Structure 1
């Protein structure tokens, strides 16, 4: 590193909220391991919730004492939520844009020789102008995979000149470099709107501006998404623009044994046969309606297989509360079929709050994972060598990830009915039997174990992800000199 024993400072700047701060925290640990000091800059978002406000920031800071957390001072403006009818996403973007001045002041307060780089996440492109004024190299951290990044990178050219939104195409497949044919309906909701709609326009502006950074740190590894990474290094991916480096530095995920110790489900798993349990969890906001929970229960019971199931309070129950505010209120007897818990008590465990997902996936008893296909959950399953039963919900890039998991990586099967938002008990039973009993399931498990080994090799000394990160550091050094 430069400057003898004086550590350089990397500034990380994510949008607030667990889905963005979590991956940035894992990235921070990589910088710390390489001898840097790390400061994560946050703002309190205009929409207060327990997974993005002051209490959330305090919890994250307390569990990561090696990272310095800096909350930018609030901007004295009218209450955006009370005064604007805009979509919440647009309010967050506007709030962060208004903090450009305070972000610039903070960056200038760091001695120039010590300020190594600014790393922003996907939705912080407004900070690129700040970095340019300060004269610090700015990079993007992309918390999802290379396949999604390849699609996002090519979307502005696809939408240029369109007079209608992509929603009208339904499930018609779209062709992108580096990924399987992608149903138009699988793109994120803002991207399906008419190009002149404010939400779609703001999203496209973000995607176009991402080319203004010095490069992208992607949460994936080379052998997992080699085709998508090749596409991102192909000039055809960004016609008319300069190509910037793409560094595959993942998987950036939590480690087993760092938060779930003593949880009741781990002791229960200890008593189950190897690779015999299906784990069902749809992420921190994956609350399914009562009718769907009843179908899941029916499928689990009919399958005869062991299961560990995280049940959240259904959507529509106290909707004004966040998940974390109502996390302990699920009444299993009221939500599940009468007698289900008693009939399955010898082979199933239902949890109504939270399970240590990384620990569960890495437990020898876990044989399959029913997942919403969020990228963090996908990578955690890949790193644990567990095949997936893909049940994407409506949020973000989950449906695209389903395509990558099933068609590209070959470590999962889709739960038919997810497009309509309802999956029947018969489908659940059939897919459980397929993965845990059939020849196709055996092949999925073998492929999953191959990818687990490749993930381990990627982050070892001399592995592809470690080499990519060292190349990133070298490129930053050359820029600074």
Structure 2
């Protein structure tokens, strides 16, 4: 009888997309997969589109929404809205009952694979005596740090916020500034406590699948496997099974036809993820820097997020004439293209004309850039992206930092200088050669005999052993 694994991605397109890629690996190894899908409380066109694309080859079961909280449960003397991270954990915690009902309805389930935010599902797996594994959609370096952070904070008599730019040294990571940690961790808040609880519970699982490969993050992988990142308890088995990259195959978008007309490796691509936006002042500085650089560019511009914008809510289409400097589009028409809101990123990155990638350092985008063989210009915005920047620039040496991202605005001169450095200088050429070599290794690890292929086979063998026991 075929094995059946249920994948539980929570919500957010950045977490769904790599889990869809993981599902395809299961299918390649003869394991059936079913998604237990949570519909976001705020409708997301990006999420819906990702599900629609994947549903052609993968089974999705949409879990019924949880009952609304009772008036007494929702009452509070504090009328301030909860942090979006608290709302996320509360919502996913309330999904335990529908998830339990769905798992019980299936004729056979051999394991449950959950997203990092679905920690409460550990309780469902324990109740049903199911093996449960985390799929960590970011890198091994982040995981090494974050597994350690709760105990580090508990041993401190100050906060990470008060440490500011002081350096932290943790197993698996180069020294990094305390301010590089995610905002939710830096501030002593209810959101921080929820995040700490998430990482404290990860070792309860039967193992952790990571979307990375051994040679990309050697230091972090060794620290995890040597048990250096989880103080005072055993670290579950860690399986580096990446790089898992979804997408590709788009042929109709205008930007791809435009790229077809550009020389090889000549275009700088700027894109900042599904949540990344900038105020008008920053967009103007980017535009001036690009124009002064003289380089070809393809730039995805999104409408700036307003102060009252709800987390996860789609943004309206941007008004480029209002957001960008007067005459910019006309003056750069012969060497640049600005597209509104979205571009087929994987196809753009893999296009022969694309020569560099200005990125927010989200892990999906990072792997997409690396597997396309492109140097990364790192401009982190939120979540774990500052940590990713540290690993990309200092550990992997596959990118350069766009200085000023932590200040009010990155200046046009910095945009111009870094674009020129990557596209024109000897240093940029050396960077490009390192990335191309990493691209080759990234392809090899997924082939039979490669480290990630072997790690997935070992995971399936271990899962079989746990299931039998």
After TM superposition, is the score higher than 0.5?
Answer: yes
1:121 is aligned to: 115
Q: Distance in 1 between matches of 2:261 and 2:17?
A: 31
User: Post-superposition shift, 1:177?
Assistant: 0.9
| 1:475 correspondence with 2:457 | no
Bigger mean CA deviation after superposition, 376-385 or 15-24: 15-24
SS at match of 2:215: coil
Q: Contact between 2:125 and 2:131, CA under 8 Å: does it hold in 1? A: yes
User: Post-superposition shift, 1:115?
Assistant: 1.2
| 1:212 correspondence with 2:200 | no
Distance 1:122 1:320, change over 3 A: closer
Matches within 5 A, 1:4-43: 7-43=2-38
Matches within 5 A, 1:129-144: 129-144=123-138
Q: 1:427-477 CA deviation, whole Å, 9 max, x = no partner?
A: 111111111111110110000101000000011122111110000000011
| 1:151 correspondence with 2:138 | no
Q: Distance in 1 between matches of 2:341 and 2:106?
A: 42
Contiguous gaps of at least 5 residues in structure 1: none
Q: Contact between 2:144 and 2:220, CA under 8 Å: does it hold in 1? A: yes
SS at match of 1:459: coil
Q: Contact between 1:97 and 1:126, CA under 8 Å: does it hold in 2? A: yes
SS at match of 1:351: strand
Bigger mean CA deviation after superposition, 20-29 or 426-435: 20-29
Q: Contact between 2:125 and 2:132, CA under 8 Å: does it hold in 1? A: yes
Q: Distance in 1 between matches of 2:271 and 2:9?
A: 26
Question: Which of 189, 192, 197 is matched with 2:186 structurally?
Answer: 192
Q: Contact between 2:18 and 2:246, CA under 8 Å: does it hold in 1? A: no
Question: Which of 48, 67, 71 is matched with 2:62 structurally?
Answer: 71
Q: Contact between 1:217 and 1:248, CA under 8 Å: does it hold in 2? A: yes
| 1:281 correspondence with 2:277 | no
**TM-score, normalised with respect to structure 2:** 0.94
Question: Which of 327, 330, 339 is matched with 1:339 structurally?
Answer: 327
| 1:263 correspondence with 2:259 | no
User: Post-superposition shift, 1:243?
Assistant: 2.3
Question: Which of 438, 443, 453 is matched with 1:451 structurally?
Answer: 438
2:370 is aligned to: 382
1:253 is aligned to: 245
SS at match of 1:402: helix
User: Post-superposition shift, 1:343?
Assistant: 1.0
User: Post-superposition shift, 1:102?
Assistant: 2.6
**TM-score, normalised with respect to structure 1:** 0.92
Q: Contact between 2:361 and 2:386, CA under 8 Å: does it hold in 1? A: yes
Q: Distance in 2 between matches of 1:145 and 1:308?
A: 27
Q: 1:324-361 CA deviation, whole Å, 9 max, x = no partner?
A: 341xx312111111111111111111111311111111
Question: Which of 314, 322, 332 is matched with 1:324 structurally?
Answer: 314
| 1:109 correspondence with 2:105 | yes
Q: Distance in 2 between matches of 1:41 and 1:429?
A: 46
The two structures, once aligned, show a CA RMSD in angstroms of: 2.0
Question: Which of 355, 360, 377 is matched with 1:372 structurally?
Answer: 360
Q: Distance in 2 between matches of 1:325 and 1:414?
A: 28
Q: Distance in 2 between matches of 1:117 and 1:248?
A: 18
Q: Distance in 2 between matches of 1:281 and 1:344?
A: 18
1:398 is aligned to: 385
SS at match of 1:102: helix
2:216 is aligned to: 224
Question: Which of 348, 356, 373 is matched with 2:336 structurally?
Answer: 348
Question: Which of 381, 404, 409 is matched with 2:396 structurally?
Answer: 409
- Aligned residue pair count: 463
Q: 1:185-228 CA deviation, whole Å, 9 max, x = no partner?
A: 1111121122xx32111111111100000110000011111111
Distance 1:62 1:338, change over 3 A: closer
Bigger mean CA deviation after superposition, 145-154 or 63-72: 63-72
User: Post-superposition shift, 1:410?
Assistant: 0.7
Q: Distance in 1 between matches of 2:14 and 2:70?
A: 24
User: Post-superposition shift, 1:44?
Assistant: 3.2
1:299 is aligned to: 289
Q: Contact between 2:213 and 2:242, CA under 8 Å: does it hold in 1? A: yes
Contiguous gaps of at least 5 residues in structure 2: none
2:305 is aligned to: 315
Q: Contact between 2:277 and 2:302, CA under 8 Å: does it hold in 1? A: yes
SS at match of 2:172: coil
1:422 is aligned to: 409
Q: Contact between 1:285 and 1:323, CA under 8 Å: does it hold in 2? A: no
